[in-house]
Structure 1
Amino acid sequence: MNIFQSALLACAALTALTGIASAQEARFHYDGDLRLSPETGTLSASWTITPHETALTEVSFLLNAALGEADISGPGVGAVSSELPASFGGMLRAYTIQLEPSDGGADRRIDIRYAGPLFPEPPASPINTLDPHKVEFTVDSFWMPFDQRFSSLVTADLDIWLPGDWAGVTMQAIGRTPGGFYIDQDTPALGLAFTLMADFQRHEAPGYVIYDTREPAGDNIDALVAALDHCTAYLNDVSGNAGPLPEASIVVTSRDEGGYSRGTLIALTDIADTGPASMMQFICHELSHYWSHGNAMSVENWLNESFADYTAIMGMREALGEDEYEAFMARYQRQVDAATGPLGPVWTPQTTERPDFVVAYRKGPLALARAEALIGREAFARFIQRAMAERVATTPDMLDVFEQVAGAEARAAFETYLAD
């Protein structure tokens, strides 16, 4: 794990998020120009950032310190200061910007320019890369200014200058231009992620496109195709009128760790040794995030992760049978039992903290499994479909839907599972 991932996990656990939160408003719009030099590992970027919060008078952005001192100006920008916070080990630079009062936001603009190497030394875990074979950027490397509040959603327009025969995928929309690519992100998200590839094998089917960037490519791709085919069909059936899934872009990498999902962009680690059950569960989980609407930076993130995870296990059960399902749930229970220190509840009306990994990814799915056993699989499937269709974003709203499907007594039992 590199320093940038450690910083994120310590402050906000952003590496576990999809990055999409369509039910919330954007705090900023980023309009950018990015020039890449894969041969030298350097970049040059300029951004015009428009704040939408009229009451905002100060904002602090984090940026990769290897990129040097940024030049910051613009209408409505007052004093600017920068520091290397000790909490990030000197790897990130924080820029604090004073803003003049606004009568609507249109009169203020933050212009930021910087250039330099993204990685002075090769990262220990290359989730982000900038080389002649692949350019993979997520927020983990802080290649773009990131609001230190760790909760600000942004929209973006980005021109990427990169000559040559490259293919590109992103969280929302990407297109070719004479000089490279143009990214249009009109759904608010926590950051901007994309992958550009010079060397890959491509596999396309209804609902998804796979880009295999490994050398050599192709190992275990058939299992990935089987998982994508099943999960796409299963989730489109389960979601009913709340679907269908948009087309997903799947990038297979050669690294051993660092898989993630950012909207419809899913990056996988090397899948050569991944078994059918793990492959099926992971793919169904990431695709299920299309229906995640809880505030990812709040207590409601358990809705995003636990529902995606258990829906994925349901999909795996349909494909591979009861034995695989029971094995998954037994492993989850063992991991909960082995957790060091007390684990908090999945949710209670008094809960205010964002749940940790074991709670969101293990206790939450176990609670959902108990709820399914309580009301039966057919009723539980109706509940899942209604939660998707109604874009449930809070636990009380979710419980209301559960009660409408299963009754007040079942709701009360479900609440005890979540509080256990």
Structure 2
Amino acid sequence: MKKIRRLVRPSFALSACLSCSLMGIALTDAHAADRADLDYTGSIQFMPETGQLTAGWTIQVLDSDLDTITFGLSAALGTAAVSGADVMSVTTTLDPRFDGAIRAYQVDLGAVDGDRPRRVRFAYSGPLFDPEPSFPINTLNSNKVELTVDSFWFPFDLRFDSDLTANLGVRIDGEWSGVGVDQVERVDQGFRIRQRDPALDIAFSLLSNSQIVTSDDYIIHDARREPGTKIDDLTQALEICTTYLNDMAGSAGPLPKASILVTDRAEGGYSRGTLIALTDIENETDTDLQKFICHELAHFWSHANAGGAENWINEGVAEYIALMGVRHAMGEAVYAAYLGDYAERLDGQDLPPIWTPDASGRPPYLISYRAAPLALRDLEERLGRDAFRVLMRVMMIEKIKTTPDLLAAIERLSDKPTRDWFASRLAE
């Protein structure tokens, strides 16, 4: 195991320069915008004591085929100002799919002019949450700023399947540490957050009090009221899973440095690439912690549309790869016990198929997290473990994100009868 350095959170005396321009944080760094559908450059000021923010964005629309794009933004922020030379018209309504919590902005774009990306500008200010959410994944208070797309704190493409890059200047007064998907850098009046690899979301956390553990492969921010419990078990799980997944991924790896947030909450873990937010791990068993970490790290190679029928690939494959990691680290009996429990959970349930060609909508939890891993177990038994491992590596390298593409890979690596058998298995 690598040597771990325990760091003391640095102290930063930030000036209370309220007259300084929010846009004054330099944002000149070039990043991989040409590989994304949308590129966001923005500045945001957080007022944690009041739960308010002020934000401005320039969104480059890099998909030249788009004539209209609809963004969603928290309705608690009021109505944003939308502008830009490429904006022909804007229609805004409360989106009925979210019970009025999200305001939708339909933006009609002008014609493409050569290679120049079209630009849409958003500006808004106000409270992010009204009322304060009871399920505290997304928070904006004096202890923590934790934001994901679920709070619609930034204008989000409501198609739910476009990738974005981002370059964000954050103004926040006080002493904070930060953790994010790619790079969170301390600057004079806050942070600079850069997300150069295309992803679905802009997600990060700023913490007013945390214990930090770091190594070459990860950084852990322990934000619990009583930090330190089971951190050694967490670091061991990270070491084992990182090594196992990098070996499986081959040229699709290695994993970038993981950023881990450990919270006090009882539920609500998630991952965004290698940003992983954990629930309180104090009462986690070693096997559950190992599986959870492997599952979340495996999501680095998830590429299916998270909002649609193909989400079974994201969750089912990550869960089964996690079980493979548990089998590797802890033995066959532990692996078999998990799968036996999954089968019991499904017994007597009235559930739809995992996937059919006409499937629509996001599969329920038991399908993606329990039925799909059992189907993948059956596929591994039919192919053999070595061949199945090759299939998982091909999925990672080719960034497979649809079931037809997965079935085609199975046929290419084995034969058509196996492809047809697995398609039938998914449709049961």
Fold-level similarity (TM above 0.5): yes
Instruction: Identify if the C-alpha distance between structure 1 residues 97 and 398 changes in structure 2 by more than 3 Å, giving closer, same or farther.
Output: closer
Residue identity opposite 2:382 in structure 1: L
Instruction: Identify if the C-alpha distance between structure 1 residues 184 and 412 changes in structure 2 by more than 3 Å, giving closer, same or farther.
Output: same
Instruction: Identify if the C-alpha distance between structure 1 residues 162 and 105 changes in structure 2 by more than 3 Å, giving closer, same or farther.
Output: farther
Q: How far 1:247 moved relative to its partner?
A: 0.9
Deviates more, 1:84-93 or 1:273-282: 84-93
Q: 1:367 and 1:165 mapped to 2: Cα distance?
A: 49
Q: 1:256 and 1:310 mapped to 2: Cα distance?
A: 24
- The residue that corresponds to 1:279 in the other structure is 289
- The residue that corresponds to 2:149 in the other structure is 139
Whether contact under 8 Å (2:46, 2:172) holds in the other structure is yes
Instruction: Identify if the C-alpha distance between structure 1 residues 155 and 104 changes in structure 2 by more than 3 Å, giving closer, same or farther.
Output: farther
1:417 and 2:425 matched: yes
1:369 and 2:346 matched: no
Q: How far 1:129 moved relative to its partner?
A: 1.1
- The residue that corresponds to 1:343 in the other structure is 352
- Residues 158-189 of structure 1 deviation map (CA, whole Å, 9 limit, x = unaligned): 11112333221211222222121112222222
Residue identity opposite 1:249 in structure 2: S
Whether contact under 8 Å (1:227, 1:279) holds in the other structure is yes
- The residue that corresponds to 1:74 in the other structure is 84
1:112 and 2:136 matched: no
Q: 1:379 and 1:371 mapped to 2: Cα distance?
A: 10
Q: 2:78 and 2:36 mapped to 1: Cα distance?
A: 28
Instruction: Identify if the C-alpha distance between structure 1 residues 232 and 93 changes in structure 2 by more than 3 Å, giving closer, same or farther.
Output: same
Residue identity opposite 1:254 in structure 2: D
- The residue that corresponds to 1:215 in the other structure is 225
- The residue that corresponds to 1:378 in the other structure is 386
Alignment of 1:20-419 (within 5 A): 26-104=36-114, 106=116, 108-339=118-349, 341-344=350-353, 346-349=354-357, 351=359, 354-419=362-427
- Residues 339-397 of structure 1 deviation map (CA, whole Å, 9 limit, x = unaligned): 2x3412x3345545553332222221111111222233233223323333343333344
Whether contact under 8 Å (1:236, 1:244) holds in the other structure is yes
Q: How far 1:114 moved relative to its partner?
A: 0.8
Using the aligned pairs only, state the percent identity.
46
The count of residues paired between Structure 1 and Structure 2 equals 396
- Residues 82-138 of structure 1 deviation map (CA, whole Å, 9 limit, x = unaligned): 333344333222223333333347374222111111123321011111122211110
Instruction: Identify if the C-alpha distance between structure 1 residues 63 and 401 changes in structure 2 by more than 3 Å, giving closer, same or farther.
Output: closer
**Runs of 5+ consecutive residues of structure 2 not aligned to the other structure:** 1-31
Q: How far 1:293 moved relative to its partner?
A: 3.0
Q: How far 1:219 moved relative to its partner?
A: 1.8
Instruction: Identify if the C-alpha distance between structure 1 residues 79 and 245 changes in structure 2 by more than 3 Å, giving closer, same or farther.
Output: closer
Structure 1 SS opposite 2:390: helix
Whether contact under 8 Å (1:167, 1:196) holds in the other structure is yes
Whether contact under 8 Å (1:230, 1:319) holds in the other structure is yes
Instruction: Identify if the C-alpha distance between structure 1 residues 313 and 66 changes in structure 2 by more than 3 Å, giving closer, same or farther.
Output: same
Q: 1:418 and 1:239 mapped to 2: Cα distance?
A: 25
Residue identity opposite 1:398 in structure 2: L
Whether contact under 8 Å (1:54, 1:104) holds in the other structure is no
Instruction: Identify if the C-alpha distance between structure 1 residues 95 and 386 changes in structure 2 by more than 3 Å, giving closer, same or farther.
Output: closer
Residue identity opposite 1:140 in structure 2: D
Residue identity opposite 2:390 in structure 1: R
Structure 2 SS opposite 1:155: strand
Q: 2:188 and 2:69 mapped to 1: Cα distance?
A: 35
Structure 1 SS opposite 2:347: helix
Structure 2 SS opposite 1:109: strand
- The residue that corresponds to 2:15 in the other structure is none
**Runs of 5+ consecutive residues of structure 1 not aligned to the other structure:** 1-21
